[in-house]
Amino acid sequence: MILDLSTFPANSNLMKQLNRSQVLNLIRNQGPVSKVQIAEVTKLTFPAVVNIITELSQRGIITESGYGHSVGGRKPVLLKFNPNFKYVIAVELELHHVKAMIVNLDAEPVAKGDIKIDPDSGSSTILNQVYKVIDEIIEVSGLSMDQIYGIGICSPGPVDHNQGVVLNAPMLKDWNNIPLRDMVAQRYGILTLLEKDANAAAIGELWFGAAKGKENVVNLIVNYGIGGGIIIDRRIYRGFYKGAGEIGHLTINMDGPQCSCGNQGCLEAYSSGVAIVRKIKEELQRGVETPYKEKYEQLGDELTLKCVTDAALDGDYLAINVIKDSARILAVGIANTIHYFSPESIILGGKLFAYYPKTLEIVKQHVKERVLDYFYDKISIIPSELGDNADIIGAASMVIEHLFDYSEQLLSGDPA
């Protein structure tokens, strides 16, 4: 893991922190391991390893896990990470729901909550519902606040991660410039982090999903819009101010259809759920014949992406062709992204791939045609592993990431 050294205070005992992080990450990722193995891999001296292990054991962060093979003499004690040492609260703000979970440090849930919200009810009502769902899951979990390390929140963007402010969530009424991070942090008195949903999903895949163990990946989500999250050297790449990763607004055709952002011909205007539904309606208006015509027309404004993908699964050639065309154009956006970032993997998630999994193969075939030959075979284009849970697991993951980066926080307070 590459640590962001710029964020460490200049007067801290940097080497000690780095050594501790290195040992802890090794035990977490490769445990159970012995002290000798840790010294071999980290190149730290054996006494230094013993000191760190003693410190981590006293706090309950690591525990013993049986004995390894002896190479002469006593069998070595093996050490493993204790994922129940601390817990994390994850909150996902959506258009119609606030979801929350408490998970351990392996992202295993111990309590879950879900409150329906009315997007038109205004920011103070929605904020109270955020508090309510957090209060409920804390109570259900039976945990005390000192067992909970922090709260991770993801929200529709754009989000100012540094300031902890939701700048604007156009679909939620009055949800502009909300200092959500500090409001939640003040109420609960623990570390709170805020991230936009697409970035959180990428962080979730990195820690617990399809990107686990990878360094450079792009996570692309096709729902009613198209969101992206870029991971470079195991870190989310946010870019300047409102954040990078707006792959849905790559221009595919400068004279193309109107996009929700005000521009023309964006990827989202061709390949998102909204674009697919709109294209079906346009084709029907143009007089394209399909046995499903009556069904589509009956649905009218109720026609959703799910209706279209169900029709495609049922063999409707109009739905199949519209999805194929959208996937072909999506592949253009992905090929552009690959040429920019050269990631190890592109991870594809969201409703389009979940409802109609064949889309993945269509996309892969067209990306192959467009990406420079010499490295296409090395790049994997793979489905999301976390699916609909990517955002909320990501909200938890960013807090877990913080804890492993700043391992001195694990050692604060009284020993367990």
Residues that bind Zn ion (CB under 5 A): 249, 259, 261, 263, 266
Q: Residue 42 or residue 260: which is nearer to Zn ion going by CB?
A: 260
Q: Give me the least distance between CB of 195 and Zn ion, in Å please.
A: 21
Token pair 């012995």 is at which residue? 34
- Shortest gap between Cβ of 303 and Zn ion (angstroms)? 22
Alpha carbon distance 229, 232 (integer Å): 10
Quick one: 109 or 256, whose CB is closer to Zn ion?
Answer: 256
Q: In what order do the strands lie in the sheet with 380-383?
A: 235-236, 226-232, 217-222, 345-349, 380-383
Give me the amino acid identity at 212.
K
Give which of 197, 201, 101 is closest to 155, Cα–Cα.
197
In the bound complex, what is the minimum distance in angstroms from residue 165's beta carbon to Zn ion? 23
Tokens of 133: 């769902």
* Residue with smaller CB distance to Zn ion, 51 or 263: 263
Contact present, 122 and 374 (Cβ < 8 Å): no
What is d(CA 35, CA 49) in angstroms, rounded to the nearest whole number?
7
C-beta of 104 vs 271, nearer to Zn ion:
271
Toward Zn ion, which CB reaches closer, 150 or 227?
Answer: 227
In whole angstroms, how close is the CB of 156 to Zn ion at the nearest point? 15
Q: Say if CB 120 and CB 113 are below 8 A apart.
A: no
**Of 226, 199, 208, the residue nearest 353 (C-alpha):** 226
CB of 248 to Zn ion, least distance (A): 6
Minimum Å gap between C-beta 336 and Zn ion is: 14
Question: Which C-beta is closer to Zn ion: that of 200 or that of 259?
Answer: 259
Q: Least distance to Zn ion from the beta carbon of 249, Å?
A: 4
- Cβ-based neighbours of 282, under 8 Å, separated by 6 or more: none
For residue 157, the minimal CB distance to Zn ion (Å) is 13
Instruction: Report the candidate in 200, 201, 209, 199 with the shortest Cα–Cα distance to residue 246.
Output: 199
- Between strands 345-349 and 235-236, the pairing is unpaired
**Residue 109 or residue 257: which is nearer to Zn ion going by CB?**
257
Helix axes 14-30, 46-58, angle to 10 degrees: 80
Q: Which is nearer to Zn ion, 272 or 359 (CB)?
A: 272
Angle of helix 35-42 versus helix 14-30 axis, rounded to 10:
120
- The minimum distance between CB 224 and Zn ion, in angstroms, equals 13
**Between 33 and 267, whose beta carbon lies closer to Zn ion?**
267
Instruction: Evaluate the omega torsion of the peptide bond into residue 109 and state whether it is cis, within 30 degrees of 0.
Output: no
Cis, bond preceding 32 (omega within 30 deg of 0): yes
Find all residues with CB under 8 Å of 112, minimum gap 6, and list them: 99, 100, 101, 137
Tokens of 374: 């010499």
Residue where the block lists tokens 């367990």: 416
Which of residues 99 and 249 has its CB atom nearest to Zn ion in the complex? 249
Reduced 3-state DSSP string for 77-138: EEEEECCCCCEEEEEEECCCEEEEEEEECCCCEEEEEEEECCCCCCHHHHHHHHHHHHHHHH
Judged by beta carbon, residue 179 or residue 256, the one nearer Zn ion is: 256
| Shortest separation between residue 251's beta carbon and Zn ion, angstroms | 8
- Compute the least distance from the CB of residue 282 to Zn ion, in Å: 18
